[in-house]
Amino acid sequence: MAMINVEKLKKQFDDKDVVKGLSFSLAPGKCVALLGPNGAGKTTTLRLLSGLLKPSSGSIQFEGINQTADIRAHIGYLPQYPIFHEWMTGKEFLVYVGQLAKLSKTEASERADQLLEKVGIAEAKHRRTGKYSGGMKQRLGIAQAMIHKPALIMLDEPVSSLDPIGRREVLTLMEELKQDTTILFSTHILSDAEEISDDLLLMHQGQIVESGSIRELQNKYQTDKIHVAFQVKADTYLDKLQALPSITEAGRGRTGRNSVTSRRYWPGPCTNYAVSCG
C-alpha cells in the first residue's frame, strides 16, 4: 500500500520546466532519499508535495485523505534553510507552530518539550533563535516539522549546510525518527542517502531517472571492476594480469576514464588499467 501517489507531476516557472512529469509512490514507514545534483528539481518537488507550490499539472494523492482536504495537517516540512522569528525562543516558536497545527496550548507545550529533548537542544529552549548555530537551527527545524505528529515528514537537504559534527548528529537523529514516521529527504550526497535511507529516488533535470531500494540499485548497476594504477610503463604487466585467476578481462583505460575497459592499445606512458573480475 502506498502512502502517497504522485502522478505525472509537472511544474513550470515562467517558461522553464523544473519538474517534468514525476510519477512515484511512497510506502509508509520508509525513509526515502531524493537524490540528485543541484538544480535537479528536488526542492521544487518537496515544495509541491508540501503544498507550498501548486503543480502546473499532475496529481498528488495522499492515501485516505480527500483530494480537496488540507494535506498540510498530515505533513511536516523542513526547508533547506529554516528561518525562525529571531526574537522568539526555540520553545516559543515550537508552541506557536504547534498551535497553528491545531494543538491546544498545553499539548503544544508538552510536545515542544519532548521534541526539544529528542533533538537535543533542550538546554537552549529559552534562548532566542537568532542566537542559534546552524546545527541547532536545523534541529529546531526538524522539531517544528514533527510537532503535530505528521504521517510524513519532508526534509530539504537536512545535512548539506552543516559541518561534519552537525551532520553526524542530524543523521543520527534521522535514524531515530525513522522508527516513528515516514521520511522523504533530499540530498545531493550519495553516502548520506546510502547511510540512512531504505529507498532511493534518483532525480536528474526534473525527472526521476531511477528508483528502488539501495540493494536493488546496487545489484543492478554494480560491476566488479578494479582499477590498478602503475607508476612504471605497464604494458608488460597486461598479459600477467590477464593470466591471473578469475580475471575475465584486462585492458587499458585512458587516464581519468576509469570505467573504460578496453583491449585496445593506446601508445604512451603508463596509465590506468581496468581489470574486470568474474
Partner 1 sequence: MQWTTIFKKEMLEYARNYSWIWVPIVFIILAIMDPLTTYYLPKILDTVGGLPEGATFDIPQPPPAQALYMSLSEFSMFGVVIVVLITMGTIAGERQSGVAELVLVKPVGYFTYISSKWAAKLLLIWSSYIVGMLASWYYVNLLFGEIAFTTVVQVILFYGLWLTLVTTITIFFNTLVKTPLLVGFLSIAVMIAMSVVNSVFSHRLIWFPNNLSSYILQMMDTGTIPTDLWATALIIIGLIVVLLVAALFTFRTREMAN
Binding region for partner 1 (CB under 8 A)? 47, 50-54, 70, 72-73, 75-77, 79, 81-85, 87-88, 92, 96-97, 99-102, 141, 144, 148
Least separation in angstroms between CB 144 and partner 1: 6
The residues, any chain, with a CB within 8 Å of residue 21's CB and separated by 6 or more, are 8, 9, 10, 58, 207
Least separation in angstroms between CB 249 and partner 1: 50
Closest CB to partner 1 among 50 and 211? 50
Closest CB to partner 1 among 85 and 168? 85
Least separation in angstroms between CB 196 and partner 1: 23
Closest CB to partner 1 among 143 and 193? 143
Least separation in angstroms between CB 206 and partner 1: 16
Q: Would you say the C-alpha torsion 191, 193, 198, 204 has a positive or negative sign?
A: negative
Cell readout for 29 is 514507514
The residues, any chain, with a CB within 8 Å of residue 32's CB and separated by 6 or more, are 26, 182, 183, 184, 185, 197, 198, 199, 200, 201
Closest CB to partner 1 among 154 and 162? 154
Least separation in angstroms between CB 73 and partner 1: 4
| 3-class secondary-structure state, position 115 | helix
Phi, psi of 197 (to 5 degrees): -95, 155
DSSP codes of every residue in 203-257? EETTEEEEEEEHHHHHHHH---EEEEE-SS--HHHHHHHHHSTTEEEEEE--TT-
Phi, psi of 137 (to 5 degrees): -60, -40
Closest CB to partner 1 among 98 and 253? 98
Task: Count Cβ atoms below 10 Å from residue 50 Cβ, excluding itself.
Answer: 22
Three-point CA angle 139, 94, 189, nearest 5°: 25
Least separation in angstroms between CB 97 and partner 1: 6
Least separation in angstroms between CB 275 and partner 1: 49
Burial 90-125, CB ≥16 within 10 A → b, else e? bbbbbbbbbbebebeeebbbebbeebbebbbbeebb
Least separation in angstroms between CB 197 and partner 1: 22
Cell readout for 233 is 610503463
Closest CB to partner 1 among 84 and 273? 84
Kindly state the DSSP code that residue 141 receives in the 8-state scheme.
Answer: H
Closest CB to partner 1 among 181 and 258? 181
Closest CB to partner 1 among 51 and 268? 51
